[in-house]
């Protein structure tokens, strides 16, 4: 009897220890190449990210290989992405669309937080040293799994220069 109580207690403690907190806000700092998960204003996890090859400046148009800057929402998850899972960022917002319309260009879209592509031939530790996306925010597959579990649809995200 004592042995089964001990086993159940250990199982409960182990599962509680592995319970991942839920983020209520996400911050990406492009100049630091970091993504932060926050809860109640306090970061509880950070990740190194890869961006597009032209990371400086706000995304102005489709194909400019920039990651947008500003406040958005994580508005849907895609488990069947071309990359290891993806979470969509609500770019373009009203400001982005007006700016692009004024310049006579398309603002683009499909900006995501995602893992590595399925056909990746290099180790994640090497790939994450380069900015290689088309304007998305990339992390390793293991990190994407953590972010996927920590973020709910509707979580706000702020992307800083």
- Taken in order of first residue, the domains within the chain and their CATH numbers are 21-160 (2.40.440.10)
* 136 contact partners, CB below 8 Å, separation of at least 6: 51, 52, 67, 86, 110, 111, 112, 113, 114
Mean pLDDT of 135-160: 96
Report the C-alpha gap between 86 and 105 in whole angstroms.
26
- For the cut 60, the answer to whether the pLDDT of residue 3 exceeds it is no
Per-residue pLDDT tens digits for 90-147: 999 999 999 999 999 999 989 999 999 876 666 667 777 788 898 999 999 999 999 9
Quote the pTM value: 0.83
């Amino acid at each position: 009897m004592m042995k089964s109580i001990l086993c159940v207690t250990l199982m409960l403690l182990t599962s509680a220890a592995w319970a991942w907190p839920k983020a209520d806000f996400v911050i990406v700092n492009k100049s630091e190449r970091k993504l932060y998960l926050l809860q109640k204003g306090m970061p509880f996890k950070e990740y190194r990210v890869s961006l597009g090859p032209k990371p400086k400046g706000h995304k102005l148009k489709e194909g400019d290989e920039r990651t947008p800057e500003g406040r958005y929402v994580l508005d849907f998850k895609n488990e069947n992405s071309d990359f290891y899972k993806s979470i969509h960022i609500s770019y373009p917002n009203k400001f982005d669309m007006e700016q692009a319309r004024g310049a006579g260009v398309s603002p683009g879209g499909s900006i995501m937080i995602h893992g590595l592509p399925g056909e990746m031939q290099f180790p994640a530790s090497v790939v994450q040293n380069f900015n290689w996306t088309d304007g998305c925010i990339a992390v390793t597959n293991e990190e994407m799994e953590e972010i996927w579990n920590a973020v709910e649809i509707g979580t706000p995200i702020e992307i800083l220069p």
